[in-house]
Amino acid sequence: MITWATLSRRLSMVFAVLLLACCGASAWLQMRSSGLHEQEVVQRLSGGLAAHIAENSELMQPGGLNQAAVKDLFDKLMAVNPSVEVYLLGLDGRIEAQAAPPGHMKRERVALAPIRKLLSGAPLPILGDDPRSADAAKVFSAAPLKMGGRDAGYVYVVLQGEDYDALAANVATDNVLRTTLWSMALVALLGLIAGLAAFRLITRPLRELTKAVKRFETEGMASLESETPTLERLSHGSDEIALLGQAFTQMTRRIAEQWRELTLQDQQRRELFANISHDLRTPLTSLHGYLETLLLKAGTLSDEERRRYLEIALGQSRKVGRLAQELFELARLEYGVVKPEKENFALADLVQDVFQKFELAAEARHQQLRPDIAPGLPVVSADLGMIERVLTNLLDNAIRHTPAGGEIEVQLRPANTGVAGVAGVAVQVSDTGPGIPGELQKGLFVRPVFMSGARSDGSGSGGLGLVIVQRILQLHGSDIRLVPQAGKGAVFRFQLGGAQGA
């Protein structure tokens, strides 16, 4: 993991390298610009020197150059201004006269193109060949030399000759280099200080975000509440750090929600185990007690007592078997083992079939089963077996928790399911029992809750019946709700989607 110190150090090193490179480039450009400016000034200031020399009539004589006059003039000019070097050129650029010491001449002719360019008035500085160097070019002054009204050659004056170069190198090199280096060092130091300060300000949100991430890594969920103000502040803005802060904030919120959900699920699972353990312990204890009694008193019990004990033990065994079956069914539903196999069928017919299963139980309790089915109901598309289990669980709960003389009603009404305008069926199952206590209604369909001495949903099965109903309806894209209704006990509502094209 790259810490802020490493990142800052890397940024600082990159910035320092770039700063030094920029300073070096700036110094080079400055020195080059200064040199060009100096050349232009010298060339502009001495532009008429060659013309003034060309006007000297003693340089030429009818037979050609006046060598004595040329040598005398060259000696005087170079004595007055040692930086200049004077040459007389032929029309082809060949050097006809010069005053260079022996061995200093490196060229026999000078290119005429720069001379013509200068004479035509082109922008300065213009560099021409240096006769005393094989490849150097220097600023110069030039003028045509005439004899008898005709061009006889050119006066060519190098304005910054060998003596100038030697003097400039000896006098200015150390000072210029020293000044340049000090300037670069000062600019680099100031730039580096300013850059580090800017980096510190820019990376401050990143440091705070890194601190929050580290704290979250070490302390876990406990650090979220204390770091929330920091994360909220870092999330404002549209730069990359703000976007990173927003992403981390969303991630922490999602993790917190998932953590709370896992904690709740763990608590509910513990409650489920406690409820199931309680529900299993009661019938198993009763079953064990009666079987042990039969074993110990086998010779003293009458046939009637023996039969009664066996019927009680068998009843408790059925309760254990039913609870085990519901647990197995709930596990299959929760882990996606069971998938609904949908088919089209009339829900009213299914209600009548389920009613027939509970007629005897209702008559034994002096209860009334009443269907309230609207005419012209659409055909529904669902898993017939699963929906039968939903109705069976709800009616079984209602019968067992409705007092004698009560009424259980199943109401079917057409409803718009909101799926491409397809009509479905709204189902309501109600009874006239005592209802479900308010403190138990919140998590009624989420996890079963054991209710000692109060209403349960599944024959002492820890509330598994309603949980199974909820899972089945969720597989059908529906949901079940407990709704208050005057004059009723518990009222459950859900919807089923209609068949496409029905």
Q: Mind listing the pLDDT tens digit for each residue in 299-339?
A: 788 888 888 888 888 888 887 887 777 777 777 777 767 78
Which of 86-90, 192-196, 235-239, 274-278 is predicted with the least confidence, judged by mean pLDDT? 235-239
Q: In DSSP terms, which residues pair with 155 in a beta bridge?
A: 88, 143
> In terms of Cα–Cα distance, which of 318, 328, 329, 360 is closest to 459?
318
Mean local confidence (pLDDT), 127-140: 88
pLDDT over threshold 90, residue 55:
no
Q: In DSSP terms, which residues pair with 428 in a beta bridge?
A: 411, 493
Mean local confidence (pLDDT), 153-167: 79
Which of 323-332, 339-348, 492-501 is predicted with the least confidence, judged by mean pLDDT? 323-332
Cβ atoms of 314 and 451 within 8 Å: the answer is: no
Say which residue, 430 or 243, is predicted with more confidence: 430
- Of all residues in the chain, the percent with pLDDT exceeding 90 is 15
Mean local confidence (pLDDT), 156-180: 69
Name the CATH code of domain 343-496 (choices 3.90.79.10, 3.40.50.261, 3.40.50.300, 3.30.565.10).
3.30.565.10
pLDDT of residue 497: 86
d(CA 421, CA 492): 24
pLDDT over threshold 50, residue 418:
yes
Cβ atoms of 145 and 152 within 8 Å: the answer is: yes
Q: Which two tokens stand for residue 358?
A: 């509970």
275-334, which class in CATH?
Answer: mainly alpha
pLDDT of residue 228: 62
pLDDT band at 407 (very low <50, low <70, confident <90, very high): very high
pLDDT over threshold 90, residue 293:
no
pLDDT over threshold 60, residue 446:
yes
Average pLDDT for the chain: 78
**Residue linked to tokens 């082109």:** 122
CA distances from 226 to 192, 198, 220, 232, 498 (A): 36, 28, 12, 11, 51
pLDDT over threshold 50, residue 458:
no
d(CA 240, CA 251): 16
- Of all residues in the chain, the percent with pLDDT exceeding 70 is 78
pLDDT over threshold 80, residue 494:
yes
Mean local confidence (pLDDT), 46-56: 77
pLDDT band at 60 (very low <50, low <70, confident <90, very high): low
**Residue linked to tokens 């300060």:** 197
pLDDT of residue 226: 59
- Specify the domain boundaries for CATH 1.10.287.130 within the chain: 275-334
> In terms of Cα–Cα distance, which of 329, 279, 268 is closest to 452?
279
CA distances from 498 to 80, 342, 343, 373, 374 (A): 115, 11, 10, 16, 15
Mean local confidence (pLDDT), 394-415: 91
pLDDT band at 221 (very low <50, low <70, confident <90, very high): low
pLDDT of residue 452: 40
Say which residue, 226 or 121, is predicted with more confidence: 121
Say which residue, 119 or 46, is predicted with more confidence: 119
Mean local confidence (pLDDT), 358-374: 91
CA distances from 381 to 110, 328, 416 (A): 104, 26, 14
Three-class SS of 187-212: HHHHHHHHHHHHHHHHCHHHHHHHHH
pLDDT of residue 32: 74
Which distant-in-sequence residues (6+ apart) come within 8 Å of 441 by Cβ? 482
Cβ atoms of 195 and 13 within 8 Å: the answer is: no
Q: Of the ranges 235-249, 409-423, 465-479, which is most confident?
A: 465-479
Long-range CB pairs of 273-280 (<8 Å, 24+ gap) are 274/450, 275/448, 275/449, 275/450, 275/462, 275/463, 276/323, 276/327, 276/462, 278/450, 278/462, 279/319, 279/323, 279/450, 279/460, 279/461, 279/462, 280/320, 280/323
Which of 82-96, 165-179, 211-225 is predicted with the least confidence, judged by mean pLDDT? 165-179
pLDDT of residue 57: 58
d(CA 73, CA 253): 95
Which of 243-247, 315-319, 336-340, 408-412 is predicted with the least confidence, judged by mean pLDDT? 243-247
pTM: 0.49
The pairing of beta strand 368-373 with beta strand 407-416: parallel
Cβ atoms of 350 and 384 within 8 Å: the answer is: yes
pLDDT band at 355 (very low <50, low <70, confident <90, very high): very high
> In terms of Cα–Cα distance, which of 336, 472, 490 is closest to 407?
490
Superfamily of domain 1-202: PAS domain (3.30.450.20)
Which of 48-52, 153-157, 240-244, 370-374 is predicted with the least confidence, judged by mean pLDDT? 240-244
- Specify the domain boundaries for CATH 3.30.565.10 within the chain: 343-496
Helix (H, G, I), strand (E, B) or coil at 135: coil
Which of 150-159, 185-194, 373-382 is predicted with the least confidence, judged by mean pLDDT? 185-194
- Each residue of 254-272: pLDDT tens digit? 877 888 888 877 776 777 7
pLDDT over threshold 50, residue 118:
yes
Mean local confidence (pLDDT), 158-175: 68
- Specify the domain boundaries for CATH 3.30.450.20 within the chain: 1-202
Alpha-helix residue ranges (DSSP H) falling in 91-161: 113-119
